[in-house]
Copies of this chain bind each other. A is one copy, B any other.
Amino acid sequence: MKIERLTKGLSLKRSVENGTQEQRDAVIGIISSVRKKGDSALHEWTRKFDGAELSELQVSSLEIDEAADSISSEMADVIKEAAENIRSFHTKQLRNSWMTTDGTGTLLGQKVTPLDSVGVYVPGGKAAYPSSVLMNVIPARTAGVKRIVMVTPPDRDGKLPAGVLAAAKIAGVDEIYKVGGAQAVAALAYGTETISPVDKIVGPGNIYVALAKREVFGDVDIDMIAGPSEIAILADETAIASEVAADLLSQAEHDERASSVLITTSAELAEGVSKEVEKQLSALPKEPIARSSIKDFGRIYVAETMEAAVEAVNDIAPEHLEVMTENPIELLGQIRHAGAIFLGRYSSEPVGDYFAGPNHVLPTNGTARFSSPLNVEDFQKKSSVIMYSKQAFGQNAAKIAAFARLEGLEAHARAIESRLGE
């Protein structure tokens, strides 16, 4: 693994995937066919892209129960315990509506309301992760969303992966449909005979899914478009090279475009990690992917001071940050930009991917500068509440009318003054 001296203004930012013109045109065509032809378009695209001939789009409760029963009871218990941890952490994020009142009798506040309905996209094939089902569904359920719909592409036999169905049952999904790609996004946004539309679509997908989400945004809400996964590790001489290397590789196995970066004040650790990465790489089942990722997007930076190292972390704004230093909590206050911050030796990143409770859907590609992990508030919205009293109105009517006239909005001023008659 390449070792460099840390320089200022580090950035791992890569250009956002906007797709080719051909891909964009294809997505627009698919969406328009679903809006026009509904279910029959869904069947047609599923035949074409997934090679499956479906009699029913919706997964039956029998299919769900059979899938759930096919998982070993030990594994089911692990998924349930993870779900419970996720639920517990996200329940702590819940907001109440609030109000403030004053001596004049005026009430001001914010009313917090869950979204009516949410659609969760789950990719097919190898990227059909049960953990991703939990992480997207549980915050919506916790927020109080009444209707949660899952869509995911079937295999050629029209089946869905048992792990995904089991996780959906544990997380509490209301409806599951065998449909993927841009056609699934279109169905969620605009509805068909079988699938009623939703208010927000979340979950990862391939470039067609990402482009379709962009296209329907505004008619419905969407989550962020995720980029390749990233980890930055901030370490001093107390970190253990084999553990640091293993954590870097756990990102690298995801994707050739994943990025794994170590920033350390210890030249000795840098050397040790570089060697360990090479050693562990050779023994990995996904060696080709991980090797390519480490070669293109893996770096070790040696910093002069811990201050410079922390500033580099803020410049990168990584999706995942591990802090493996003697006293990691001392550095927490200086870290401004990171999706999730893992402190200390026992907070290896997979602890958060699967089990601890915080969400694993995190801002990538430097967007941690301005975005947050998926959370309960992504599934709630607020309405301002204004109940002005007669007394407050009387005290302030002239001021409000004057402000409106300063802006040339006479009808606004007259709306106020229409109440002053009596």
Contact = CB atoms under 8 A, between A and B. Distances in A.
Given A387-B343, A411-B286, A413-B350, A337 B113 contact: yes
Size band of the A side of the interface?
35 or more
Nearest to A391: B346
A16 B219 contact: yes
A335 B383 contact: yes
A81 B370 contact: no
B352 A246 contact: no
B357 A389 contact: no
A347 interface: yes
Contacts of A351: 386, 388, 393, 396, 400, 416
A340 interface: yes
Interface string A358-385: 1100110101111111010100011111
Contacts of A221: 367, 370-371
Interface string A254-293: 1000000000000000000000000010001110001000
A103 interface: no
Q: How many copies does the complex hold?
A: 2
B373 A383 contact: yes
A220 interface: yes
Given A337-B113, A416-B348, A343 B385 contact: yes
7 contacts: A110-B358, A115-B370, A220-B370, A284-B414, A341-B383, A343-B387, A347-B387
Shortest Cβ-Cβ A-B pairs, 10 listed? A358-B384, A346-B393, A343-B387, A340-B384, A221-B370, A253-B411, A372-B382, A246-B418, A250-B415, A246-B415
